[in-house]
Structure 1
Amino acid sequence: MAAIGKIREHGGFLTVIIGIALASFVIGPKALDLLFKTAPEFDHTSIGIINDQKIDIDYFSGRVEEQINNYKENQKKENLTSEERYTMTMQVWDLVKKETLLNQQELEVGVALINETTGRPEISREEYRDMIVGTHPHQLIVQNFTDQKTGQFNPQYVEQFLSNVEQGLNSDKPEEVEQAQLSDNQWRMLSKYIKEDRLSQKYYNLIKKGYYIPTALAEMEFNDRNTSAKVRYTAVRYGVIKDEDAVPTDADYQEYYAAHKDEFKQKEETRKIDYVVWNVRPSDSDIEAIEKQVNEIAVEFQTIAVENVPVYVNSFRDSRYDSTWYKSGELSPFIDSIAFNSENGTMMGPWVENKAYHIARLMDSQVRPDSMRASHILISFAGAYGATDSITRTKIDAGALANTILELSTSADFAALAIEYSDDPSKTTNEGDLEWFADGQMIFELNQACLENNINDIIIVETAYGFHILKVTGRKDESKKVRIAQINTQITYSKETHNMAFTKATHFASSIQNQASFDSVSTNSQMNIMKGDFVNDVAANIMGITDSRSIVRWMFEQDIVEGSVSDVFDFDNQIIVAVVSGVKLEGISPLEEVKEFIKPLVIRDVKAKKLIAQLTGASDINQVALDNSIIVDTTDYLTFTTYSLPKYGPEQNVQGHMFASEANVLQGPLKGDQGVYFFIVDQVTPAPANTVDYRFTRQQVQSQFAQMVDQGAYNAVDKAADIKDFRKYVY
Structure 2
Amino acid sequence: MAILSKIRERTMFLILVIGLALFAFVLDPTTISDFFSANKVNEIGEVNGEVISRQEFAEALDAYKAQTGNRVSEMQAAKTVWNNLIRQKIYKKQLEEAGITVGDVDILNALYESPSIQGDPRFQTSGIFDKNKLKEHLATIKEENGEEWKAWRNYMASLQSNIEKTTYDNLVAAGIGASLKEGEANYFTENTKVSGKYIYVPYTTIADSLVILKKSDVENYINNHQDAFQVEASRDINFVKFDIKPTAEDEAAIKAEVAKLIEDSEVNNTTVKGLKSTTDYSEFLEENESDLAIDNNYKFKVQVPQVIAEEVFNGKEGDVFGPYKDGDYFKLSKITAVTQLPDSAQASHILIPFIGSASADETVVQTEEEAKKTADSLLTVVKANKSKFADLAKEMSSDKGSAENGGFYDWFAYNRMVPSFRDFVFEGKEGDMGVVKSQFGFHVIKIDGQKNFQPVVKLVTFGRKIEASEETENTVFQNAETFALELANGKVFEEAVKEKNLSSLPAVGLKPLDENVPGAGNEREIITWAFDEEVKEGDFKRFDVEGGYVVATLTSKTAKGLMSVDKATARVRPILINERKAKMIQDKISGSTLDEIAKSVSQSVRTAADVNLQSPTISGVGFEPKVVGAMINAKENEVVKNVVGDKGVFAFVVEKKELPAALPNYDTFRKRIANERKNKTFQMYEAVKKASDIEDNMSSFYGIQ
Deviations 1:463-510 (A, max 9, x none): 676665433211112211112222332332233333333333333333
The residue type paired with residue 85 of structure 1 is S
Partner of 1:374: 347
Structure 1: distance between partners of 2:342 and 2:487: 67
Aligned residues of 1:399 and 1:467 also touching (Cα < 8 A): no
SS of the counterpart of 1:567? strand
Confirm whether residue 709 of structure 1 aligns to residue 703 of structure 2: no
Structure 2: distance between partners of 1:62 and 1:450: 47
Deviates more, 1:514-523 or 1:602-611: 514-523
Aligned residues of 1:218 and 1:698 also touching (Cα < 8 A): yes
Could you tell me how far 1:331 is from its partner in structure 2? 1.6
Mark the CA change 1:544 to 1:86 in structure 2 (over 3 Å): closer, same or farther.
Answer: farther
Mark the CA change 1:659 to 1:495 in structure 2 (over 3 Å): closer, same or farther.
Answer: same
The residue type paired with residue 63 of structure 1 is A
Partner of 1:722: 694
Partner of 1:54: 53
Out of 110, 129, 144, the residue aligned to residue 112 of structure 2 is 129
Partner of 2:210: 245
Structure 2: distance between partners of 1:53 and 1:241: 55
Partner of 1:276: 240
Partner of 1:542: 517
Partner of 1:558: 533
Out of 34, 51, 73, the residue aligned to residue 30 of structure 1 is 34
Could you tell me how far 1:557 is from its partner in structure 2? 0.4
Out of 286, 292, 305, the residue aligned to residue 250 of structure 2 is 286
Could you tell me how far 1:518 is from its partner in structure 2? 2.4
Structure 2: distance between partners of 1:326 and 1:348: 15
Structure 2: distance between partners of 1:499 and 1:678: 72
Partner of 2:479: 504
Partner of 1:151: none
Partner of 2:292: 319
Partner of 2:668: 696
Mark the CA change 1:328 to 1:197 in structure 2 (over 3 Å): closer, same or farther.
Answer: farther
User: How many equivalent pairs are there?
Assistant: 640
Structure 1: distance between partners of 2:463 and 2:78: 35
Mark the CA change 1:156 to 1:455 in structure 2 (over 3 Å): closer, same or farther.
Answer: farther
Mark the CA change 1:516 to 1:463 in structure 2 (over 3 Å): closer, same or farther.
Answer: closer
Confirm whether residue 584 of structure 1 aligns to residue 558 of structure 2: yes
Mark the CA change 1:498 to 1:637 in structure 2 (over 3 Å): closer, same or farther.
Answer: same
SS of the counterpart of 1:322? coil
Mark the CA change 1:318 to 1:33 in structure 2 (over 3 Å): closer, same or farther.
Answer: same
Structure 1: distance between partners of 2:285 and 2:406: 45
Deviates more, 1:605-614 or 1:211-220: 211-220
Partner of 2:460: 485
Mark the CA change 1:405 to 1:608 in structure 2 (over 3 Å): closer, same or farther.
Answer: closer
Aligned residues of 1:102 and 1:200 also touching (Cα < 8 A): no
Partner of 1:519: 494
SS of the counterpart of 1:334? helix
The aligned runs of 1:181-260 (5 Å cut-off) are 200-213=165-178, 220-221=185-186, 224-226=189-191, 228-249=193-214, 252-253=217-218, 256-257=221-222, 259-260=224-225
Could you tell me how far 1:194 is from its partner in structure 2? 8.1
Aligned residues of 2:290 and 2:462 also touching (Cα < 8 A): no
Could you tell me how far 1:217 is from its partner in structure 2? 5.1
TM-score normalised to structure 1 length: 0.74
Confirm whether residue 328 of structure 1 aligns to residue 301 of structure 2: yes
Confirm whether residue 104 of structure 1 aligns to residue 92 of structure 2: yes
SS of the counterpart of 1:306? coil
Deviates more, 1:669-678 or 1:623-632: 623-632
Aligned residues of 2:229 and 2:563 also touching (Cα < 8 A): yes
Could you tell me how far 1:273 is from its partner in structure 2? 1.2
Structure 1: distance between partners of 2:182 and 2:127: 50
Deviations 1:317-371 (A, max 9, x none): 6322222321113221221112212222322111223343222222222211222
Mark the CA change 1:688 to 1:720 in structure 2 (over 3 Å): closer, same or farther.
Answer: farther
Confirm whether residue 386 of structure 1 aligns to residue 369 of structure 2: no
Deviates more, 1:416-425 or 1:525-534: 416-425
SS of the counterpart of 2:69? helix
SS of the counterpart of 1:431? coil
Could you tell me how far 1:229 is from its partner in structure 2? 3.7
Partner of 1:413: 387
Could you tell me how far 1:552 is from its partner in structure 2? 0.9
Deviations 1:272-308 (A, max 9, x none): 1122333333344433432332223444541674334
SS of the counterpart of 2:307? coil
Structure 2: distance between partners of 1:371 and 1:270: 56
TM-score normalised to structure 2 length: 0.77
The residue type paired with residue 432 of structure 1 is G
The residue type paired with residue 404 of structure 2 is T
Deviations 1:382-437 (A, max 9, x none): 88873764867995697379547735653462346426753436376212323333
Structure 2: distance between partners of 1:218 and 1:580: 56
Structure 2: distance between partners of 1:658 and 1:568: 62
Aligned residues of 1:515 and 1:579 also touching (Cα < 8 A): no
Confirm whether residue 432 of structure 1 aligns to residue 407 of structure 2: yes
Aligned residues of 1:47 and 1:60 also touching (Cα < 8 A): no
Aligned residues of 1:128 and 1:195 also touching (Cα < 8 A): no
Deviates more, 1:552-561 or 1:349-358: 349-358
Mark the CA change 1:52 to 1:238 in structure 2 (over 3 Å): closer, same or farther.
Answer: same
Structure 1: distance between partners of 2:230 and 2:676: 29
Confirm whether residue 455 of structure 1 aligns to residue 430 of structure 2: yes
Aligned residues of 2:616 and 2:628 also touching (Cα < 8 A): no
Mark the CA change 1:193 to 1:430 in structure 2 (over 3 Å): closer, same or farther.
Answer: farther
Partner of 2:69: 69
Partner of 2:470: 495
SS of the counterpart of 2:171? helix
Q: Which runs of 5+ in 2 are unaligned?
A: 1-20, 120-124, 130-150, 264-272
Aligned residues of 2:44 and 2:52 also touching (Cα < 8 A): no
SS of the counterpart of 2:514? coil
The residue type paired with residue 245 of structure 2 is R
Deviations 1:638-676 (A, max 9, x none): 34x754444434435434443554432222233322112
Mark the CA change 1:435 to 1:684 in structure 2 (over 3 Å): closer, same or farther.
Answer: closer
Could you tell me how far 1:703 is from its partner in structure 2? 0.8
The aligned runs of 1:122-201 (5 Å cut-off) are 123-132=106-115, 200-201=165-166
Partner of 1:618: 591
Task: State the Cα RMSD in Å.
Answer: 4.5
Structure 2: distance between partners of 1:466 and 1:490: 37
Structure 2: distance between partners of 1:668 and 1:413: 87
Confirm whether residue 532 of structure 1 aligns to residue 513 of structure 2: no
Aligned residues of 1:456 and 1:473 also touching (Cα < 8 A): yes
Mark the CA change 1:555 to 1:59 in structure 2 (over 3 Å): closer, same or farther.
Answer: same
Deviations 1:33-66 (A, max 9, x none): 45xxx5x63x4xx876664133635534533543
Partner of 1:348: 321
Structure 2: distance between partners of 1:514 and 1:630: 66
Deviations 1:591-626 (A, max 9, x none): 3332233223333333223222222x1333245446
Structure 2: distance between partners of 1:663 and 1:197: 54
Mark the CA change 1:544 to 1:468 in structure 2 (over 3 Å): closer, same or farther.
Answer: closer
